[in-house]
């Protein structure tokens, strides 16, 4: 392993134009040869040479990162493709899935609305004559497919959330729960645990997708029907419902659903978010801080709408990724995707979002696991995040061209009182950070860079210069580098977690 590290590191450094010398001349902040051929920079480019002074307010918490803060999804489209290449019996897949535990797992998406559960072909008692046929043809989920996913979820220990077929509707427009009842009966008979449910997906887009509409007030009535359906089953009586699962751009739908009674039924107000369309494939957007900021505005709007109806209702981002319609090919599954993903985790936690579900574990161009069932860079980033970050979130301020977040470090892996600061340098220049509040403290450093010479488009991620790969289908050790006090220098296009075990932050003292 060691033998292969040096050439990789060298390749990465060369790629970004960093000479070995500049890496070691720590206090010397002149920008390397990539710009200006060694000349001093114009004054307006001050940001390139001046350290970023990071200030963190440890006195109050902006939110709390729980063990279930980050979850994953699989799109119902995967059922339509009979799980494509996803082999649930593969030991490797199970290892990757277990590495994310504890986690929520959502099976849902556009096609969930039009899915029919055909669990026992001999005993289909639902009255199809009353059920509206969606414009887009629906499809069947078989008993075998349902058993497969439930057995997998139980095997790996995921907490399941299932999205019901909201387009099964009666002539009067109300949701018809007959087929859902069949699914619950089948599941209860087999004692499948299902933590939560959703009623359909992105109603605010129904007109485009299904040439139909479901009003917010109808949807609020539908979740009441779902609640009463769940109460028929002791096994699911205590399961939660989240909604309204809006796609996010028609925001008035969100508030109207909550105001029409939805807020009294759902455990969390839920919405979806993507930054841009997958087909656009504009690489620079993945490292653009203006794109990162666009998410903040939407979160503010969602909180405004939620709080105008309910002062305490949690907010979940129940389906989210970089780019919609399956992600950006050759980008959303590469090292570069980590910038938007880690920033989203930082923003979501700082804004008080309780849970977000990453689209997706497998499928499209944004999977944490690729079609060959190997982990993508965002898999490693997600696992590291879950292991390192947990507890109170602190307000950290840095500079416009970088991103800095701070929270308690996970006491499962670090001593009580430890703090983690995570930083993104989405620029093609080196940035130095002055974490003056930790001037004298040792730190554990997890420095994440592209894993090979493909740079931003690398299929791999390196941790402290070592390319991350499974070792005989098991996870490698994900150990930090022990680092001394001082200024923190971040390579171009990198992100870093810094854990301060001696921080003794009072809000991080409780386990
Ligand atoms: C760095 O990025 C700036 C603008 O984003 C660009 O003008 C410059 O050419 C880039 N430098 C290198 C070495 O890629
Ligand atoms: C779904 O199953 C039903 C039987 O319940 C069958 O009539 C129908 O053709 C199936 N639809 C598809 C798309 O396979
Ligand atoms: C059903 O599942 C629950 C929760 O996993 C478990 O506690 C219980 O023992 C199971 N019951 C049966 C009959 O297997
Ligand atoms: C959409 O539905 C309306 C009425 O329900 C119908 O007149 C129209 O043809 C449909 N459009 C498409 C594209 O199916
Ligand atoms: C949210 O509400 C605050 C206070 O009413 C307002 O200042 C802000 O502009 C709103 N933000 C959005 C994105 O709606
Ligand atoms: C974080 O701190 C900055 C600088 O003190 C302040 O402007 C900002 O409002 C704070 N944010 C929150 C959410 O408290």
Q: What is the mean pLDDT of residues 23-51?
A: 45
User: For residue 118, which atom of ligand 2 is closest to its CA?
Assistant: 5
Residue 34 has a pLDDT of: 35
133 Cβ closer than 6 Å to some ligand 4 atom: no
Q: What is the CATH number of domain 65-391?
A: 3.20.20.80
Integer CA distances (angstroms), 457 to 162, 246, 275, 335, 463, in order: 33, 31, 19, 6, 16
> Does position 296 have pLDDT exceeding 90, yes or no?
yes
Query: What is the SS3 assignment for 424?
Result: strand
135 Cβ closer than 6 Å to some ligand 4 atom: yes
Confidence band of 510 (pLDDT split at 50, 70, 90) = confident
Cα torsion through 326, 328, 334, 337, rounded to 10 = -90
User: For residue 137, which atom of ligand 2 is closest to its CA?
Assistant: 13
Phi, psi of 316 (to 5 degrees): -120, 145
pLDDT, tens digit, 9 for 90 and up, residues 198-221: 999 999 888 888 888 999 999 999
> Does position 86 have pLDDT exceeding 70, yes or no?
yes
Residue 46 has a pLDDT of: 57
Q: Which of 441, 382, 311, 458 is nearest to 101 (CA)?
A: 382
Confidence band of 138 (pLDDT split at 50, 70, 90) = confident
- HEC readout, 28-58: CCCCCCCCHHHCCCCHHHHHHCCCEECEEEC
Residue 98 has a pLDDT of: 98
Mean pLDDT of the chain: 89
Residue 173 CB contacts under 8 Å (≥ 6 apart), including other chains: 214, 218
pLDDT, tens digit, 9 for 90 and up, residues 391-431: 999 999 999 999 999 999 999 999 999 999 999 999 999 99
Q: Which ligand is nearest to the Cα of residue 397, counting in written order?
A: 6
Q: Which ligand is nearest to the Cα of residue 63, counting in written order?
A: 6
Gyration radius from the chain CA atoms: 24
Confidence band of 136 (pLDDT split at 50, 70, 90) = low
CA–CA distance, 109 with 61 (Å, rounded to integer): 33
Q: Are 104 and 71 in contact (CB under 8 A)?
A: yes
pLDDT, tens digit, 9 for 90 and up, residues 238-276: 999 999 999 976 668 999 999 999 999 999 999 999 999
**CB half-sphere exposure, 113, CA atoms < 13 A:** 24
pTM over 0.85: yes
User: For residue 60, which atom of ligand 6 is closest to its CA?
Assistant: 14
User: For residue 116, which atom of ligand 2 is closest to its CA?
Assistant: 1
Q: Which ligand is nearest to the Cα of residue 300, counting in written order?
A: 5
pLDDT, tens digit, 9 for 90 and up, residues 339-368: 999 999 999 999 999 999 999 999 999 999
Q: Residue 139 Cα, ligand 2 centroid: separation in angstroms?
A: 7
Q: Residue 428 Cα, ligand 1 centroid: separation in angstroms?
A: 6
The boundaries of every CATH 2.60.40.1180 domain in the chain are 52-59+396-509
Q: Please, which residues bridge with residue 301 across strands?
A: none
Q: What is the mean pLDDT of residues 436-443?
A: 96
> Does position 100 have pLDDT exceeding 50, yes or no?
yes
Q: Residue 145 Cα, ligand 3 centroid: separation in angstroms?
A: 21
Q: Which ligand is nearest to the Cα of residue 492, counting in written order?
A: 1
284 Cβ closer than 6 Å to some ligand 1 atom: no
Phi, psi of 232 (to 5 degrees): -75, -15
- Our mutation pick for probing the ligand 5 site, out of 251, 273, 304, 305, counting the most ligand atoms within 8 A of Cβ, is 304
Confidence band of 121 (pLDDT split at 50, 70, 90) = low
Q: Residue 429 Cα, ligand 1 centroid: separation in angstroms?
A: 8
Residues within 6 Å of ligand 2 by CB: 116, 118, 121, 124, 139-140
34 Cβ closer than 6 Å to some ligand 1 atom: yes
Q: What is the mean pLDDT of residues 134-152?
A: 87
Q: What is the mean pLDDT of residues 77-93?
A: 96
Q: What is the mean pLDDT of residues 142-154?
A: 97
Residues of the chain by 3-state class (helix, strand, coil), percent to 5: 35, 25, 40
Phi, psi of 59 (to 5 degrees): -80, -30
> Does position 2 have pLDDT exceeding 50, yes or no?
no
pLDDT, tens digit, 9 for 90 and up, residues 218-228: 999 999 999 99
- The verdict on domain 52-59+396-509 having CATH code 2.60.40.1180 is yes
The boundaries of every CATH 3.20.20.80 domain in the chain are 65-391
> Does position 137 have pLDDT exceeding 90, yes or no?
no
Please provide the distance, in angstroms rounded to a whole number, between the alpha carbons at the two ends of the chain.
Answer: 36
For residues 226 and 48, the model is more confident at: 226
Q: What is the mean pLDDT of residues 291-307?
A: 96
> Does position 91 have pLDDT exceeding 60, yes or no?
yes
CA 160, chain centre distance (Å): 16
The answer to which of 18-27, 382-391, 418-427, 437-446 has the lowest mean pLDDT is: 18-27
Q: Residue 270 Cα, ligand 3 centroid: separation in angstroms?
A: 29
């Amino acid at each position: 392993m060691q033998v292969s590290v040096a050439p990789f590191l060298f390749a990465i450094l060369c790629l970004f134009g960093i000479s070995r010398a500049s890496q070691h001349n720590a206090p010397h902040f002149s920008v390397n040869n990539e710009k200006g051929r060694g000349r001093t920079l114009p004054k307006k480019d001050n940001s390139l040479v001046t350290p970023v002074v990071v200030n963190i307010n440890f006195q109050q918490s902006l939110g709390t990162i729980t063990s279930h803060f980050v979850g994953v999804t699989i799109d119902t489209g995967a059922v339509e493709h009979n799980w494509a290449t996803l082999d649930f019996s593969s030991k490797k897949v199970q290892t990757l899935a277990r590495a994310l535990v504890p986690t929520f797992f959502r099976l849902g998406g556009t096609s969930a609305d039009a899915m029919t559960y055909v669990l026992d072909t001999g005993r289909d008692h639902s009255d199809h004559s009353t059920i509206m046929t969606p414009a887009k043809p629906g499809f069947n989920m078989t008993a075998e497919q349902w058993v497969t996913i439930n057995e997998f979820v139980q095997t790996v220990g995921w907490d399941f959330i299932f999205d019901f077929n909201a387009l099964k509707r009666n002539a009067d427009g109300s949701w018809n729960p007959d087929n859902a009842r069949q699914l619950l009966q089948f599941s209860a008979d087999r004692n499948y645990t299902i933590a939560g449910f959703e009623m359909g997906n992105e109603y605010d887009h129904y007109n485009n997708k299904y040439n139909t509409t479901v009003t917010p007030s109808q949807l609020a009535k539908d979740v009441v029907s779902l609640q009463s359906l769940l109460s028929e089953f002791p096994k699911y009586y205590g399961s939660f419902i989240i909604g309204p699962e809006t796609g996010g751009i028609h925001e008035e739908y969100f508030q109207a659903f909550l105001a029409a009674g939805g807020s009294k039924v759902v455990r969390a107000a839920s919405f979806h978010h993507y930054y841009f369309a997958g087909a656009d494939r504009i690489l620079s957007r993945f490292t653009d801080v203006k794109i990162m900021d666009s998410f903040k505005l939407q979160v503010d709007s969602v909180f405004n709408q939620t709080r105008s109806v309910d002062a305490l209702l949690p907010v979940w981002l129940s389906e989210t990724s970089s780019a919609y319609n399956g992600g950006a090919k050759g980008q959303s599954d590469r090292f570069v995707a980590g910038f938007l993903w880690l920033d989203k985790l930082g923003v979501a936690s700082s804004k008080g979002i309780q849970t977000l579900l990453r689209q997706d574990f497998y499928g499209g161009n944004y999977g944490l696991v690729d079609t060959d069932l190997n982990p993508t860079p965002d898999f490693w980033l997600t696992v590291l995040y879950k292991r390192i970050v947990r507890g109170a979130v602190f307000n950290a301020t840095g500079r416009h061209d970088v991103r800095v977040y701070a929270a308690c470090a996970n006491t499962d892996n670090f001593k009580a009182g430890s703090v983690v600061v995570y930083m993104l340098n989405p620029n093609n220049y080196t940035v130095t950070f002055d974490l003056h509040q930790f001037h004298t403290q040792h730190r554990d450093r997890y420095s994440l860079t592209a894993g090979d010479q493909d740079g931003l488009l690398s299929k791999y991620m390196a941790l402290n210069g070592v390319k991350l790969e499974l070792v005989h289908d098991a996870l490698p050790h994900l150990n930090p580098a022990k680092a001394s006090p001082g200024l923190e220098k971040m390579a171009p296009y990198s992100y870093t977690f810094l854990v301060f075990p001696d921080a003794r932050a009072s809000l991080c003292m409780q386990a």
